[in-house]
């Protein structure tokens, strides 16, 4: 049973550590390879950018940060941090889960790349004000209890004119309404036992063990409000798979599919700039 209403912020953070210690981010794509080997990391990387989210390299623009000091919050196994480092950014990877930090550091060693790593909490960043040119966080801040506080921390550690690039789950999406609410909540009757946040927690992240991490999803307007301290903020919508649109997914013309993905995909990508003064 979840009983999530009775849990404190620290309990949820412990659930995050449990979840991502048991199931390192993306590692399911590397089943069968020796953990920590080059083949293991390559399998995670290929799956991410070729199968799971082919839009990522174009939308994130990893090579736009050459020569910049970039912090990634919630670096997981370091897949995206590696792209920034390869493209010439000076990178720091931070994560709440010690195992994530260990794996990400090992990955950089395997690739012969430089990076700094540390264990830390998005809600209380252990860096002085104005430490970074860019802060990146993908699929992380919707798992932390005080997401707004984490966004303020990002603003604080950015230098004037610095850029935040953050992915949060999107509530007005086909994944949320079709997959979570309709399929699991209504048709499978889970709404009789769980609230929607608990249903997300049960189904959104892959879990070989039942850790039930906190999962939240935001509307475009809620995300925009959370970034109110920033001088500018642009939000794009991404991440829809044809299999989510079964039985018609394979038949949809590409333009219609893209239109659906850009309106009702599962990921909000927020690009916000701190005032340069």
Ligand X SMILES: C[S@@+](CC[C@H](N)C(=O)[O-])C[C@H]1O[C@@H](n2cnc3c(N)ncnc32)[C@H](O)[C@@H]1O
Binding to ligand X by CB under 6 A, coded x per residue (else -) over 141-160, reads: --xx----------------
Q: Contact between 91 and ligand X (CB under 6 A)?
A: no
Selected from 23, 100, 201, 267, the binder of ligand X by CB under 6 A is 100
* Residue 9, CA atoms < 13 Å, CB-side half-sphere: 9
Q: Is 95 among the residues that bind ligand X (CB under 6 A)? A: yes
Closer of 125 and 272 to ligand X (Cβ): 125
**Dihedral Cα 64, 67, 69, 70, nearest 10 deg:** 30
CB of 189 to ligand X, least distance (A): 27
Between residues 53 and 272, which has the closer beta carbon with respect to ligand X? 53
- 40 binds ligand X, rule: CB under 6 A: no
- The window from 32-40, 55-63, 138-146, 243-251 that contacts ligand X (CB under 6 A) reads 138-146
Residues of span 212-241 touching ligand X by CB under 6 A: none
Helical residues (DSSP H) of 47-140, grouped into ranges: 56-60, 79-86, 98-111
Interaction between residue 96 and ligand X (CB under 6 A): yes
Under rule CB under 6 A, residue 53 binds ligand X? no
Q: Which two tokens mark 106? A: 């090992």
Q: Which of 68, 143, 134, 58 is nearest to 100 (CA)?
A: 143
Of 26, 115, 162, 185, the one binding ligand X by CB under 6 A? 26
CB 76 within 8 A of CB 58: no
Q: What is the dihedral of CA 199, 200, 202, 204, to 10 degrees?
A: 150
Distance CA 62, CA 89 (A): 9
| Sites of contact with ligand X (CB under 6 A) | 16, 20, 25-26, 73-76, 79, 95-97, 100, 121-123, 138-140, 143-144
């Amino acid at each position: 049973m979840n009983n999530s209403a009775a849990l404190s912020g620290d309990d949820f953070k412990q659930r995050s550590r449990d979840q991502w210690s048991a199931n390192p981010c993306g590692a399911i794509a590397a089943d069968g390879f020796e953990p920590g080997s080059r083949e293991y990391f390559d399998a995670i990387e290929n799956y991410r950018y070729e199968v799971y989210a082919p839009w990522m390299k174009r939308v994130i623009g990893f090579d736009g940060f050459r020569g910049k000091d970039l912090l990634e919050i919630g670096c997981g196994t370091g897949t995206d941090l590696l792209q920034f480092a390869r493209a010439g950014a000076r990178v720091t990877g931070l994560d709440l889960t010690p195992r994530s930090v260990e794996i990400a550091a090992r990955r950089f060693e395997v690739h012969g790349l430089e990076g700094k790593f540390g264990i830390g909490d998005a809600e209380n960043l252990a860096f002085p004000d104005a430490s970074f040119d860019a802060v990146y966080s993908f699929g992380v801040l919707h798992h932390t209890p005080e997401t707004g506080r984490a966004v303020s921390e990002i603003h604080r550690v950015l230098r004037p004119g610095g850029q935040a690039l953050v992915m949060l789950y999107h509530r007005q999406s086909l994944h949320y309404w079709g997959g979570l609410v309709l399929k699991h909540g209504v048709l499978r009757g889970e709404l009789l036992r769980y609230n929607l946040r608990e249903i997300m927690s049960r189904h959104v992240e892959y879990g070989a063990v039942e850790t039930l991490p906190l999962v939240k999803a935001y509307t475009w307007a809620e995300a925009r409000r959370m970034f109110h301290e920033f001088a500018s903020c642009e939000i794009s919508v991404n991440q829809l798979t044809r299999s989510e649109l079964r039985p018609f997914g394979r038949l949809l013309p590409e333009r219609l599919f893209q239109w659906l993905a850009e309106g009702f995909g599962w990921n909000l990508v927020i690009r916000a700039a701190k005032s340069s003064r």
